[in-house]
A and B are shown apart, each in its own frame.
Chain A
Amino acid sequence: MTAAERTMRLLIIEDDRESADYLVKAFREVGHIADHAADGEEGLAMAENGDYDVLVVDRMLPKRDGLSLIGALRDKGESTPVLILSALGQVDDRIKGLRAGGDDYLPKPYSFAELLARVEVLSRRRGGPAEDTLYRVGDLELDRLSHRVARGKDELTLQPREFRLLEYLMKHAGQVVTRTMLLENVWDYHFDPQTNVIDVHISRLRSKIDKGFDRPLLHTIRGAGYMIRDGIR
C-alpha cells in the first residue's frame, strides 16, 4: 500500500473489537489518524466534538444504530462524509443507507484496499470543489464541457463510456479507484460481475491514452484497483 498523500482524521465507529483494532491499525499504517468508538452514543459524541474528515460507521451498533447516528448528525447540520459498513449488502439496504444520509456504502466482508480507496475519495470530496471543467494530469487534458480529450498535442477519440471512465479516474487523480467504485460510479451497477469486465475497459482506455507515450499515466495498483497520476510519487 502506498503511503497517504495527505493525512486524514478518521473516526471508526464499530462495536466488534477485533475489526475495529484491525481498521485503526491499518489506517495508521498508511499514515492516517484513526480514532475508535465502540457504540452509537459514544460515536455520536465523538463525531460531534472531534474534527474528522471521514466517519466509518458500522450499521448495527449497540445503544444507537448506525443509520440513526447519521440521521442525528445530519439533523445537527454536521456534513462530515460518512461511509457505512454493513453486513447487509443488498441493493435495497444500500439505498436505505444512502437515504439516511450516508455518502457511501460498503458491504461486509470488504477488503481494506477497497475501504481505503473509498475513504480517500470521500475525504477529497470534502476538501474542495472538484468540479473543475478542465482536468489535467501530466500532459493529459480532459475538458468536461466540450468533451475533448488531448494528450500533448494529440487529440484523442473516446467512446462516451471511455470518456466517463477517464473523467472519473481524472477527477480522483492520485487516488486509488477500485473496480467496484468504477462499476458503481461509471456504469451505475451495484452487482459483482464474475468476470474481469472492468479490466478490459481499462486496458482499452489505456491503449488510447498511454500507447505510444513514454510516460504511462494510468497505473494498475495491485490488489486494489487503478490510479491515474503523473509519474511516480
Chain B
Amino acid sequence: MTAFGKLVRTTAFRLTLVYLLLFAMFAASLLGYFAWNTRRLITEEITQTVNSETSEMNEIYGRGGMFRLVRTIEYRALRPGANLYLVTTPTGQAVAGNVGSLAPGVMATRGWSETAYRRIEDADDRDHRALVRVTELENGFRLLIGRDLAERRRLFGIVAKAAQWSVLIVVVLGLGGGIFVARRVLRRIDAMTGTAQRIMTGDLSGRLPVGRSGDELDRLAENLNAMLERIEALMAGLKEVSDNIAHDLKTPLTRLRNRAEEALAKSGCEADYRAALERTIEESDGLIRTFNALLMIARAESGQARGNMDDFDAAEVAGGIHELYEPLAEDDGMTLKVKAEPTPVHGNRELISQALANLVENAIKYGKPAAQAGTVVSMDARQITIEARREGDQVLLSVTDRGPGIPEADRKHAVERFVRLEASRTLPGSGLGLSLASAVATLHGGELRLGDAYPGLVATLALPARTGAGDRVAPPIPDVPQKVA
C-alpha cells in the first residue's frame, strides 16, 4: 500500500472528509439562507418605495393634471440616483421620464414586472435591470415607476462570493487538517505496529511507545504494555516451571530407572523383586504428587481457578484443618491449637484449605524446637497455633510454631518452587508446600507472609476481606465430644 493510500484509509482522514462535507453543506446553506433573505428584503423595500411614489404621482396628477405630473417627474428624474420614471401616451409615445428604452411590452402590462432597460443619459449600451410598476392614468396615459436592481445584484454577488470562498477555505483547511491528524495518528500507529511485530518475532521485552498527552492512544499503549508485562511474567513463570520440572523430576525419575535396572540385573528371589516393585510404586506416587502440586501451582498462578470462588468462613477452614491434623501433631509430640473468630472470606475453599494444610504440615515437620542438652522442652514450645482473624481489610490465616524459624534472609527464597532450605533437606518433602500456599494467596489477591514468632515461624495467608454482608456466615460449630449415653 502506498503511503498516500494508507493515509487516505486512516479513520482520522475518513472522519475528516465526512466532517468536511458536513461543514461545507452547513456553510452553503447558511449563506444561501442569508442571500435569499437579503434579496427578499431589498425587493420588499423597492416595492414599498415604488408603491408610495406611484400613489404620490397619482395624487399630483389628480391635483395638477398632466402638466404638474410631467414637471414633477422631470424634476425628480434629474436627481442623482433617481428612480426610473416614464410617462407615455395611450399610443405608447414617451412624454416624460428618464427611461430610454425598455424591453418590449412592459408598458402594455399593468402591475409589476422585472425588465431590462436603459436610461436616456446612459452612454454605454449595457442593459440594466429594474423592478417596475406600470399604472394607467385616467386619460389613458401610462405611468411607470421603478427601481434599479443593481444594488440587489451586488449584494447577492457579495454573498455568493463569500459562499465560494468560505467553502473553498473549509475544504482546504479541512483536507490539510485531516492529512495532518491522519499522519500524526498514522505515525504513532506505525510505531506501535513496528513494536508489536518485534514482540511477535519473540522479543517479549519490547514495549509500545507511550506519549505524554495521555490521549486514547497513550491509554491504549499503556494497557497493552501492562498486558505485555503480564504475558512476560507468565512466560517467565512457565519457563521457570519447565526448568524446575526438568531438573527436579529428572532426579527421582533417574532413581526410579536405576532401581528397576538394578532389580533386573540382580537375579534375586521373588521377595527382592516385590520389594523393588513396591519401592518403584512408592517413588512414582511421589512423582505424581509433585506433578499434581506443580500443576496446581501453575493453575493458581495463571488465575484459572478463579471460577470456583464462593463465600465461606475462614474460621471453619481453620477448624477443619485443625481437626484433620490434630492427631498427627499429637503423635509427633506437638500440640495443635486453633484460635478462630468468624471471619467471612471470598475464595476457593478447597485451595485455601490446602494452602493452610501445607503450612500446618510444615509446622509439624520443621517446627520442633531444637533440643538443647540439659534443657527440658516445655509443652509451650511444642505448640502450633492456627489462627483466623480479621485485621483491617485483610483476613489473616496464620500458622505459628515455636521451632527454629526461617532466617530473614532466606524467607523470600523459601517460597520459590522446589527450594528446600538447608535445615530441611534431610526430611521428606517436595519443596512445593510454600510455593503452593503463596500461589493460592496471590490468586486471591493476597500474599503469603513469613515472619518471626520469637522464637519460631509465623506463616500467614493474608487475603483481602470480603466487605459487607458478613451476616451470611454461620457461627462456628463447637468442637465438643459426642455424648454417648
Interface residues of chain A, those whose CB is within 8 Å of chain B, are 89-92, 95, 107, 109, 111, 146-149, 155-161, 163, 187, 189-197, 200-201, 204, 223
Contact = CB atoms under 8 A, between A and B. Distances in A.
A9 B328 CA distance: 40
Nearest to A158: B482
A156 B481 CA distance: 11
A143 B328 CA distance: 28
B333 to A, nearest CB: 13
A190 B350 contact: yes
Contacts of A95: 308
Contact of A196 (B289, B307, B328, B433): B328
Given A92-B307, A148-B484, A193-B324, 11 more contacts: A91-B308, A109-B284, A147-B482, A147-B484, A155-B484, A156-B484, A157-B484, A187-B320, A194-B361, A194-B433, A223-B281
Report which residue of B324, B331, B364, B483 has the largest number of chain A beta carbons within 10 angstroms of its beta carbon: B324
Contact of A92 (B284, B305, B429, B433): B305
- By Cβ-Cβ distance, the 7 closest A-B pairs, closest first, are A191-B354, A200-B327, A200-B328, A91-B350, A157-B484, A197-B328, A92-B308
B264 interface: no
Interface in B316-357: 320, 323-325, 327-328, 331, 348, 350-351, 353-354, 357
Contacts of A197: 324-325, 327-328
B350 A191 contact: yes
A204 B364 contact: no
Contacts of A109: 284, 288
B365 to A, nearest CB: 8
A167 to B, nearest CB: 11
14 contacts: A89-B295, A90-B305, A91-B350, A91-B351, A109-B284, A111-B285, A155-B485, A157-B481, A158-B481, A189-B353, A194-B358, A194-B430, A195-B328, A200-B331
B119 interface: no
Contacts of A147: 482, 484
Contacts of A190: 350
Contacts of B308: 91-92, 95
B484 A195 contact: no
Contacts of A146: 485
A90 B295 contact: yes
Prevailing SS type, chain A contact patch: loop
A193 B429 CA distance: 11
Report which residue of B328, B479, B485 has the largest number of chain A beta carbons within 10 angstroms of its beta carbon: B328
B424 to A, nearest CB: 13
Nearest to B306: A92
Contacts of B278: 223
Interface in B127-166: none
Interface of B: 278, 281, 284-285, 288-289, 292, 295-296, 299, 304-305, 307-308, 320, 323-325, 327-328, 331, 348, 350-351, 353-354, 357-358, 361, 364-365, 429-430, 433, 479, 481-485
Nearest to B350: A91
A157 to B, nearest CB: 5
Contact of B323 (A149, A161, A223): A161
B329 to A, nearest CB: 9
A109 B357 CA distance: 23
Contacts of B305: 90-92
A111 to B, nearest CB: 8
Contact of A90 (B296, B320, B483, B484): B296
A192 B305 CA distance: 17
Contacts of B481: 157-160
Contacts of A196: 328
Contacts of B351: 91
A193 B482 contact: no
B289 A149 contact: no
Given A147-B482, A200-B328, A204-B327, A194 B289 contact: yes
A192 B308 CA distance: 19
A195 B289 contact: no
B361 A160 contact: no
Given A187-B324, A204-B327, A192 B289 contact: yes
Contacts of B324: 187, 189, 193, 197, 201
Contacts of B358: 194
Nearest to A143: B484
A123 B128 CA distance: 115
A163 B364 contact: no
Nearest to B320: A187
Given A160-B482, A163-B482, A89 B292 contact: yes
A37 B195 CA distance: 53
Contact of A149 (B354, B433, B484): B484
A63 to B, nearest CB: 28
B439 to A, nearest CB: 13
Contacts of B299: 90
Nearest to A157: B484
A195 B365 CA distance: 10
B331 A194 contact: no
Contacts of B323: 161
Contacts of B304: 92
Contacts of A148: 484-485
Nearest to A92: B308
Report which residue of A95, A156, A190, A194 has the largest number of chain B beta carbons within 10 angstroms of its beta carbon: A194
Contacts of A111: 281, 285
A149 B485 CA distance: 9
Given A90-B295, A90-B299, A204-B327, A193 B485 contact: no
A215 to B, nearest CB: 22
A109 B291 CA distance: 11
A192 B328 contact: no
Nearest to B355: A191
Contacts of A157: 481-484
A191 B308 CA distance: 15
A192 B430 CA distance: 13
Given A190-B350, A193-B361, A159 B482 contact: yes
